[in-house]
Amino acid sequence: MEPKVLAFLGQSEGGKTTLLENLCKLCGESLKSSKKESTTYLKTYGLKYKNIPIYLLDTPGDENFIGEVIWAINAADMGVLVIDASASLKYQVIRAFEIAQEYNLPLAIFINKLDHEKANLNQVLVDLKNNLEISQAHLIQFLGLQNSTPLLVDIIKEQKVIEDGIKLKFEELSENLKSQIKPLKETLIEISAEGKDELLEKYLEEGTLTEEEILEGLKEGIISGKVAPVFMGSAESNWGLISFLNQIIELTPSYKRKLEKENLSVPSIGFIFKNYIDPYAGKLSYGRIYAGKFTSDGMVYTADGQEEKYTQIFIPKGDSLQQTKEVFEGEIIVFAKVEILKTGTTFSSNSIKEAFKVPEMPFTMLTLALHPETRADEDKISAAIAKLKEEDPSLIFRRDEETRELLISGIGKTHIDKTIEKLREKYGVKVKTSVPKIPYRETIRKSVQSVIYRHKKQSGGRGQFAEVHFNLFPLERGKGFEFLETLTGMNVPRNFVPAVEKGVKEAMTKGILAKYPVVDVKVQFYDGKSHEVDSSDLAFQIAAFHCFKKGLEQADPILLEPYLELEIWVPDENVGDVIGDLNARRGRVLSIDKERKYTKIRALAPMAEVQDYVITLHGFTAGRGRFVSRFSHYEEVPPFIAEKIIAEAKAASETSEK
């Protein structure tokens, strides 16, 4: 049977990691890690069951690390939603379900923690039915405890399941229990029959299906995304795990579906879904092979024409890596220290041009400025950032050209906090953070005629002389800058015109209110005076600079602020709170539309008012809200706010000059 890759999805503290670790232990794999902590990045486990290589991908449950979930989904043959029976259904489960469906990943459900004192199976089943738009086919059903032993029933076989290590035994059920599970068996057969026309015909004629036919119909329903098989158990107590593993390998679709779906036909191809920088081993690139095989000491090629020699290759084993000489198609391979293998890279053992689609990363919702604490931190930060981006492509780092601040953008506060912690603990770089500076602008509200400035300097030797005459006009918002030369006569030689324009542009870099760039202004250079000896490009540049500043003072200068267009998705019950909050932030709602189980709100809001918006939004919606934003336009800052911004800018300028 083919190798299988399963991505385990769901809420934090649902027991995903415990489930994976105990599956490994049951299959004879030893584990190195003994630390129990919340998963913040994609981890890969490897085991063999019935001599089949099986790889388990452990994903974070926190929305802040949803990028890791997307990479896992793109590498897996099937997703497993792990549901905590002792707690209410969390939004993260619904979000993982939606993303899996978006990428057409078949799904199974494992209801965990059924031995917990607060477990409520009936409520969980109702919640799943109400929130997940998918038919749920019960395969392993928990019917309570018998003498402190879990009573698990195989619905297809209609037999009691007894787990003994990795062995399974089956016993007949009493008539009472058979009648209890009869509705589940009938539902299962109906769901299976709908998976295939031939099976539906037989079911309508005979009213039943064989075990093989049930599995056949289930597989079709799973591949179509309409059906999810349901398993039950307890990862902590080790029951229901082998029953799950035994059936899931039968139902997991082939890895070759990815090649068919993306219409790729090559002898050798794979996809890197995770890079990890190990403190000792260096860069480790985790990839899934979809065709061909790889041996140690070879060459790896990428679809963009790069190639690199490698020596060692590994496979996941337990929670560690095992060096090997060859890795076959369908399996997960780990390359060590291969620089050309970025996350999302399509690779091959020979020259290749075809490539897998790279999934889009979620939009970042929070941006902060990073400030290295010392000169040594400043020297190390570039190399550290490069490694952080290797490990987590959902992070965005950029240098703001205007403010010169180094900015980090992440999905939320926890995402950025964990990244800063990693900078410090893993790469020895300490940074402080601050809210990024807002790129305000200055402009004018009225036209000014006949602004004249003469620059004259005489201090021995050749002097400087230039006089320029300007008219200034406000432009429509967003038009930028327009320079118009309408000189007549020969008062100013035309060769000085470029210097005049240069002087104006230099003056526009810092306005007179708070030293922000000036925009949306038209300057008409209509006259001036020159001296045949003392005039020069520099003299006219200086004159133009001061003439423009003089004109600004007379043209009713104002401050502008950037506005963002937001698209916000929230549960219906939170719409009122979100709109009220947007109004308080000087925002304007543009539209409200229904999208599946969410409401989408389009709005405009000043950038200054929404820099921490993700924190408030998650507070209103218990983490269920999300948004994307993009720059829209500039608008005038209200006077009472402008006064404060100008005062702060002047104070900062005075401090820097001391």
Q: Which CATH number is 442-555 given?
A: 3.30.230.10
Classify strands 298-302 and 346-348 as parallel, antiparallel or unpaired.
antiparallel
What is the rounded distance in angstroms from the CA atom of residue 317 to the CA atom of residue 113?
26
Ranges under pLDDT 50 in the chain: none
Distances (CA, A) of 590 to 573, 581, 587, 593, 609: 19, 15, 10, 10, 17
Sign of CA dihedral 386, 390, 392, 393: positive
Specify the domain boundaries for CATH 3.30.70.870 within the chain: 369-434
Owner of token pair 């100008």: 646
For 601, what's the count of Cα atoms within 13 Å in the CB-facing half-sphere? 26
pLDDT at 570: 96
Task: Give the C-alpha separation, 390 to 99, whole Å.
Answer: 23
How, if at all, do strands 598-606 and 588-595 pair?
antiparallel
- DSSP characters over 152-215: EEETTTTEEEEEETTEEEEEEPPHHHHHHHHHHHHHHHHHHHTT-HHHHHHHHHHS---HHHHH
Specify the CATH class of 559-641 in words.
alpha beta
- Supply the pLDDT for residue 461: 67
CATH 3.30.70.240 segments of the chain: 559-641
Distance separating alpha carbons of residues 651 and 658, to the nearest angstrom: 11
268-348 carries CATH number 3.40.718.10: no
Beta strand residue intervals within 318-405, DSSP E? 320-324, 326-327, 332-336, 346-348, 366-372, 396-399
Measuring CA to CA, which residue among 174, 178, 151, 155 is closest to residue 234? 151
Number of Cβ within 10 Å of residue 184's Cβ equals 17
**Four-way CATH pick for 4-254: 2.60.40.1530, 3.40.50.300, 3.90.79.10, 1.10.260.40:** 3.40.50.300
User: What is the average pLDDT value for the chain, to the nearest integer?
Assistant: 95
The label of the residue with tokens 């305000």 reads 440
| Six token digits for residue 354 | 């075809």
Give domain 369-434's CATH architecture: 2-Layer Sandwich (3.30)
Q: State the distance between the two ends of the chain, measured CA to CA, in whole angstroms.
A: 75
Q: Are strands 294-295 and 448-457 parallel, antiparallel or unpaired?
A: unpaired
**Residues carrying CATH 3.30.230.10, the chain:** 442-555
Rounded-to-integer distance, Cα 543 and Cα 525, Å? 12
Q: What is the pLDDT of residues 10-60, one digit of tens each?
A: 998 999 999 999 999 999 999 987 666 678 999 999 999 999 999 999 999
C-alpha span between 627 and 363 (Å, rounded)? 8
The per-residue pLDDT for 463 is 87
Q: What is the pLDDT of residue 279?
A: 87
- Closest Cα partner for 68 from 267, 300, 318, 343? 343
pLDDT at residue 462 in the model: 76
Q: What is the pLDDT of residue 658?
A: 58
The answer to whether 443 and 555 are in contact (CB under 8 A) is: no
What residues are paired with 603 via a beta bridge?
566, 589
Contacts of 67 (CB under 8 A, 6+ apart): 361, 362, 392, 393, 394, 411
The residues, ordered by sequence, that sit 6+ positions from 231 with a Cβ below 8 Å of its Cβ are: 108, 109, 110, 111, 139, 140, 240, 243, 244, 247, 248
Question: What is the residue-wise DSSP string for 434-474?
Answer: EPPPP--EEEESS-EEEEEEEEEE-SSSS-EEEEEEEEEEE
The CATH 2.40.30.10 portion of the chain extends over 268-348
Element at 417 (helix H, strand E): helix 413-425
Buried b / exposed e over 306-324, threshold 16 CB at 10 Å, is eeeebebbbbbbbbebeeb
Model pLDDT, residue 35:
62
